[in-house]
Amino acid sequence: MPKLKARHWWMLAIAWFTIITVEWSVYLIERSKKAEQHQRVAAWKKTADSLRYQPKAASIKIADAKRLMSHVGALAYPRFTAASRKRARGYISHQLIGCGYQPTQSAFAGGVNIQVEKTGRGTNPKVFVVGAHYDSVQGSPGADDNASGVAGVIELACLLARSTPQATLRFVFFDGEEQGLLGSRAYVSHPRNRKHVAGVYILEMIGTRCTTKACQDWPSSVPPWLRRKDGLFVAAVGNMENLELIQALTRSAGKAHPYVHGIPIPQRGRDFPDARRSDHAPFWDVGIGAVMVTDTANFRNKQYHLPGDKADTIDAQFMTGVVDVMHGALVELTHEAKPSPTQAKPPQYSPPSE
């Protein structure tokens, strides 16, 4: 066996040191990444924990269950074709006109959005948007998805029609959500619609709770520490940069209201596709804080997108409680003077007759 020359030994030594250096570099980089990931998860968990609460205040009851169920019943039919969605727009507009608004319709490729606005009286130019999609998938009456959300927005618009908010309240009914969030994407594409918007609430299925064992499911991407086992809560899914929108909801809830489970989502839901499945996502994408208020859809409602999603499956008490919580949050965010629980009175409006 020939002897290795000195220079060959040096070459082997250099190669060996190179390999060891590369391996250590890879190890240290991976270790650094894991440490950073651990820190991010710890910060995320700390943020989520900060949104937990135990409601102590009395529940302010202002929404009307009969009115809400009347809206759901009127809209609980498949709203997939152009004709059926036009019929739904007629009903929504009629209700809003009866509450003193003048609805405007904005057409886009694939549908029509409806909007009304309660202009703020203060010098504060902030705008808060409350929205829900009124279309459904083909073949489903869509009582929970999403006649319940539409009913909630109609009720909120009418409850606040005679108020005197400092910030502007804008109520939007989106079309084409089931076709890829078409209505909300078209909405945010116009700069005038984004101007001064300080926050957005999207009501996406608010009519189902469940009490049986293992009735509440979760997306696989949601970590175990963020899951609740019961199906009695309403989820407030918001982007991490705008926690005040979730916090307003948790502060609004009382003992008899549904528990508000705040779910802060990092990086606009990049790694959590199930958190982007409604009309709040396009607002996230343009840097606007938005919260999806939801009963968690197919992770709780077993009739999701099926013919069984009918009005008689809606939990009126749960839906009414969610609207009460929403009302309290909107009053806090848009009114300087907030009514105390003892001052709160039932709403005086009645839906217009058909």
Which pLDDT score, from 0 to 100, does residue 64 have?
96
Tokens 């609460």 sit on residue = 53
Domain membership of residue 2 (yes or no) is yes
β-pair type (168-174, 127-133): parallel
345 has a pLDDT exceeding 80: no
Q: Which domain holds residue 44?
A: 1-50
> What distance in Å separates the CA atoms of residue 203 and residue 322, rounded to the nearest whole number?
9
Statement to judge: residues 46 and 190 lie in one domain: no
**Better-predicted residue by pLDDT, 78 or 43:** 78
Average of per-residue pLDDT across 83-104:
98
Which pLDDT score, from 0 to 100, does residue 34 have?
60
Q: What is the DSSP letter of 137?
A: -
Statement to judge: residues 270 and 199 lie in one domain: yes
Tell me what the pLDDT averaged over the chain comes to: 90
Domain membership of residue 311 (yes or no) is yes
Domain membership of residue 346 (yes or no) is no
How many domains does the chain divide into? 2
Statement to judge: residues 137 and 61 lie in one domain: yes
b/e per residue, 212-234, with b = 16+ CB within 10 A?
eeebbebeeebeeebeeeebbbb
Statement to judge: residues 44 and 17 lie in one domain: yes
Q: Note the pTM of the prediction, 2 decimals.
A: 0.88
Which pLDDT score, from 0 to 100, does residue 18 have?
76
57 has a pLDDT exceeding 80: no
Q: Taking the alpha carbons of 97, 101, 102, 105 in that order, is the dihedral positive or negative?
A: negative
When mean pLDDT is compared across 11-20, 172-181, 274-283, 325-334, the lowest value belongs to: 11-20
Band (214; pLDDT cuts 50, 70, 90): confident
Domain membership of residue 345 (yes or no) is no
Give residue-wise pLDDT tens across range 129-166.
Answer: 999 999 999 999 999 999 999 999 999 999 999 999 99
Statement to judge: residues 277 and 237 lie in one domain: yes
**Better-predicted residue by pLDDT, 16 or 24:** 16
Domain membership of residue 349 (yes or no) is no
> What distance in Å separates the CA atoms of residue 326 and residue 151, rounded to the nearest whole number?
13
Statement to judge: residues 134 and 18 lie in one domain: no
The CATH number of whichever domain residue 186 belongs to comes to 3.40.630.10
When mean pLDDT is compared across 30-34, 78-82, 261-265, 267-271, the lowest value belongs to: 30-34
**What type of residue sits at position 329?**
A
Statement to judge: residues 173 and 319 lie in one domain: yes
| Among 159, 174, 172, 170, CA closest to 128 | 170
| Among 250, 227, 354, 251, CA closest to 300 | 227
Q: Which residues contact 73 (CB under 8 A, 6 or more apart)?
A: 311
Statement to judge: residues 39 and 141 lie in one domain: no
The H-assigned helical ranges of the chain are 6-50, 65-75, 82-98, 149-159, 182-188, 191-194, 243-252, 281-285, 316-334
Statement to judge: residues 273 and 163 lie in one domain: yes
Which pLDDT score, from 0 to 100, does residue 103 have?
98
29 has a pLDDT exceeding 80: no
> What distance in Å separates the CA atoms of residue 102 and residue 186, rounded to the nearest whole number?
21
Which pLDDT score, from 0 to 100, does residue 225 have?
93
Which pLDDT score, from 0 to 100, does residue 125 have?
83
When mean pLDDT is compared across 58-62, 83-87, 314-318, the lowest value belongs to: 58-62
Domain membership of residue 347 (yes or no) is no
- Could you give the C-alpha distances from 4 to 1, 11, 14, 15, 17, in angstroms and in order? 9, 11, 15, 15, 18
Statement to judge: residues 72 and 147 lie in one domain: yes
Both tokens of 354, joined, read 């058909």
When mean pLDDT is compared across 1-5, 67-71, 324-328, the lowest value belongs to: 1-5
> What distance in Å separates the CA atoms of residue 265 and residue 328, rounded to the nearest whole number?
23
340 has a pLDDT exceeding 80: no
> What distance in Å separates the CA atoms of residue 292 and residue 281, rounded to the nearest whole number?
9
Statement to judge: residues 150 and 65 lie in one domain: yes
22 has a pLDDT exceeding 90: no
Most confident segment among 21-30, 221-230, 264-273, 304-313: 304-313
Which pLDDT score, from 0 to 100, does residue 344 have?
46
**Between 65-75 and 149-159, two packed helices, what is the crossing angle to 10 degrees?**
130
Average of per-residue pLDDT across 54-82:
92
